[in-house]
Structure 1
Amino acid sequence: MSFFTFAYLIRLGVWGLAAALVQGGLLALSWLAWERVMANATAALRHRMACIHFAALVVLPVLTVVVVCWTVAGMGVPALPGSPAAELPLLMASYRKVFWLCLSLVMLWFAGALLMMLRLAMDARRVARLHRRRAPEAMVESVHRLARDRMSVRVQDIQIADVATPQIIGAWRPVLLIPRDLACVLSMAQWEAVLLHELAHVRRRDFGWNLLQRLQLALLWFHPAAWTLYGRVSREREACCDALAVRHGASATGLAQALVCLAENRVSPHLGMAISSQGELTTRVHRLLGVNRTGPLPAGLRLAAIATSMLCLLALGAGRLGLVDPSMADVYNASAFGPMILVDAHDDAGSFALRIKQGRVIEASVGNQQLPSDRIVQENDRVLLMSARRQPIVALTVTPQARIEWEGRR
């Protein structure tokens, strides 16, 4: 990979990070507005809207980078004869300054993303190393009956483990982990409500979706909006499972009581699904008991939410700012992604034309005569156009940006 190709990719990475910062702030404002608007909406609708905002944290920067590429590709080639090859040392010095700055930012982001990935791997390893044993047969039959008759799902296994709250692990072969002596602590209604909540996670395939969202969070570790929206997605996911459990026969009161009981010994489940989320217990209990309904919305709040969401889309126009950086087009033209560039030149002896790609002369013509490839001799940036008698016609210096310099012919 050439220096210019690598430099172009690094610059695009910086554009993506900058777009994520700007658009992420707008998305956070958009969610805050929609959260107020949807205060009385169903848990499923709130969760869907939170997921849309969280996914947009990645989708919008990617689209912005696409706009940058499209903008730069349309900037064209600068007036080549006015920028001779003799300027290359100065140009390269400026390119390298920008390159090292951009590379430092991208490497910082990469280091943070790698640490987040390692943390995720450690969480998975911690779950895998839990001391587990198969649950008693009566408990297994009870869970399978609830899964089959109430939720229409299948659980691969039910195990007793050293966890503080029940949780589902596994995306394709879900396993239910149950704390020791949990059945002795909860009443029958509470026990059944807790199991239905966990089975709701299986039905919604929450483990797999949560894993994907953790991976996205690892990529966006630097952005406060990513952590805020991930927290909102997690909160609404739990509310969805609460509502689904109640809809399939769980006691709302029993589930609320179980949440309070389990919260006393809660630990962070990481990859597993939690029966409660720290700091959100009161809200969840109020929702289950139907005591958190809000009053009429302020006038214009819905319009403000829509307008903020539209601003997130308009922020795609940030990609057009590539126009303010002419050197971006230079790096693009010199990279493997750049176009074949046609250079027309003339001096006292007549005209000649070149087609250049990444500093390599692909085709050449002198006057109206097309030169065969064996009469184009290039070594690094030095090019000789040869006559049929193998005599030099033109001696050129060619840069990766398709700038040329030659000694005038007479």
Structure 2
Amino acid sequence: MEIVTALPWELGADLVITAGLLKAGILVGVLWLAVRVLPARLTELRASLWVFGFAALLAVPLVSVNWGRPLLDLQVVSFPQGLFRDEGASSPAFWIFLVWAAGAAALLGRFLLHCLRVRQMARAARPAESPRLLALLEEARRRVGVGRSVRLALTPEAGAPLLVGWPRPVVLLAPDAAEWPEDRLLAVLCHELAHVRRRDYPAMILGEVVRALYWVNPLVFFGLREARMEQDKACDAVALRAGFRSAVYARHLVDVARCVRARAVAPAALTFGRRSDLRSRVGVLLDRGQDAARGRGRAFTLASAAVVALATGALAATNFWICTGGS
């Protein structure tokens, strides 16, 4: 009796996973260097590069497979009838795959639960009916240039200003935030609507999926944190162009951060006053000089080309490593 002894996880799955993790680390490192090369005031470009990088990370598993050689290098042997035992589940590659899959499923499941929680929070929130709040929302939409409908609601569960949901976004505020000065409220709304205009919520979901797939690589966690911070800085830049002076906006940012309750930042929401990024954001605000719109397109083109070139070379080198069997 002839049987095939090779199983899917015996066909180099451990090598493919290892190469994928190496490529992810290389790509995150290249992205970090490219972002650092850009001037700090080009926040929107820096944030866009991270989104580009996370999209590229989803393609890494495809280039981690050596398509140039047969995928099924099968070994056919003969055993007497009844003596065959399937020992595939005892192979190291099987357990490596199983541990990775369990971790990815756990992170994706946790993020899904957070999404359901903020969705329930948004549904239970009381719609803003104050003419003052609605007028400020419309003014923020006009200044930022958001054409889509955005709902404003109040809930005690919002320990900080939050943006949740897509494609029907909702801005959530705590009830006491409705009593804030108009200038502070307008700054908060401009920032949150900048997230809507930039489509940062889908980008956040993309980042969480990448985090789950590469959960064993700490560089991906680092990259996701950097991307979140650059997104907030980019929205700060949009708010400044909406008519706020840097020092005034920085003061509003500090005042709102003081009001943020501990553990109030929902992982599945975009937040205005994240304390962990406060120092960096205020530093960029106070250091901003003239508007950086001039030359933005050229800078983005050059930075993107550099990232593509460096990442392609690094990934090609790693692919050569896997093709040679890791030797």
TM-score (structure 2 length as normaliser): 0.79
Residue 142 of structure 1, aligned match among 121, 136, 143: 136
Same amino acid, percent of matched pairs:
24
Contact 1:60 1:316 in 2 (8 A): no
Contact 2:21 2:214 in 1 (8 A): no
Q: Give the whole-Å Cα distance in 2 for the aligned partners of 1:140 and 1:6.
A: 65
User: Which structure has more helix as a fraction of its residues?
Assistant: 2
Deviation at 1:275, TM superposition (A): 0.7
Gap regions ≥5 residues in structure 1? 78-82, 294-301, 325-410
Partner of 1:109: 100
> Is it true that 1:317 corresponds to 2:310 in the alignment?
no
Partner of 1:71: 69
User: Which structure has more strand as a fraction of its residues?
Assistant: 1
Partner of 1:133: 126
Deviation at 1:49, TM superposition (A): 2.1
Higher relative contact order (CA 8 A, sep 6+): 2
Q: How do residues 318-397 of structure 1 correspond to structure 2 at under 5 angstroms?
A: 318-322=321-325
Structure 1: which amino acid aligns with 2:169? Answer: P
Deviation at 1:99, TM superposition (A): 6.6
Q: How do residues 27-38 of structure 1 correspond to structure 2 at under 5 angstroms?
A: 27-38=27-38
> Is it true that 1:169 corresponds to 2:164 in the alignment?
yes
Q: Per the alignment, do residues 102 and 88 of structure 1 end up closer, same or farther by CA in structure 2, a change over 3 Å counting?
A: farther
Partner of 1:287: 284
Would you say how many aligned residue pairs link Structure 1 and Structure 2?
A: 301
Aligned-residue RMSD, C-alpha: 3.4
Q: Per the alignment, do residues 36 and 175 of structure 1 end up closer, same or farther by CA in structure 2, a change over 3 Å counting?
A: closer
TM-score (structure 1 length as normaliser): 0.64
Q: Per the alignment, do residues 260 and 315 of structure 1 end up closer, same or farther by CA in structure 2, a change over 3 Å counting?
A: same
Q: Per the alignment, do residues 193 and 98 of structure 1 end up closer, same or farther by CA in structure 2, a change over 3 Å counting?
A: same
Partner of 1:203: 197
Residue by residue over 1:331-359, the C-alpha shift from the partner in whole angstroms, topping out at 9 and shown as x without a partner, is: xxxxxxxxxxxxxxxxxxxxxxxxxxxxx
Q: Give the whole-Å Cα distance in 2 for the aligned partners of 1:126 and 1:150.
A: 28
Contact 2:161 2:273 in 1 (8 A): no
Q: Give the whole-Å Cα distance in 2 for the aligned partners of 1:113 and 1:76.
A: 28
Deviation at 1:84, TM superposition (A): 8.5
Structure 1: which amino acid aligns with 2:52? Answer: I
Contact 1:155 1:175 in 2 (8 A): no
Structure label with greater radius of gyration: 1
Instruction: Report runs of 4+ in structure 1 exceeding 6 Å deviation.
Output: 304-307
Partner of 1:42: 42
Contact 2:25 2:220 in 1 (8 A): no
Deviation at 1:279, TM superposition (A): 2.4
Structure 1: which amino acid aligns with 2:324? Answer: L
Contact 2:143 2:242 in 1 (8 A): no
> Secondary structure at the residue paired with 1:176?
strand
Q: Give the whole-Å Cα distance in 1 for the aligned partners of 2:148 and 2:126.
A: 19
Deviation at 1:102, TM superposition (A): 1.4
> Is it true that 1:274 corresponds to 2:271 in the alignment?
yes
Q: Per the alignment, do residues 56 and 184 of structure 1 end up closer, same or farther by CA in structure 2, a change over 3 Å counting?
A: same
Residue by residue over 1:131-168, the C-alpha shift from the partner in whole angstroms, topping out at 9 and shown as x without a partner, is: 41011231123312421454232234210012122121
Q: Give the whole-Å Cα distance in 2 for the aligned partners of 1:127 and 1:254.
A: 30
Partner of 1:181: 176
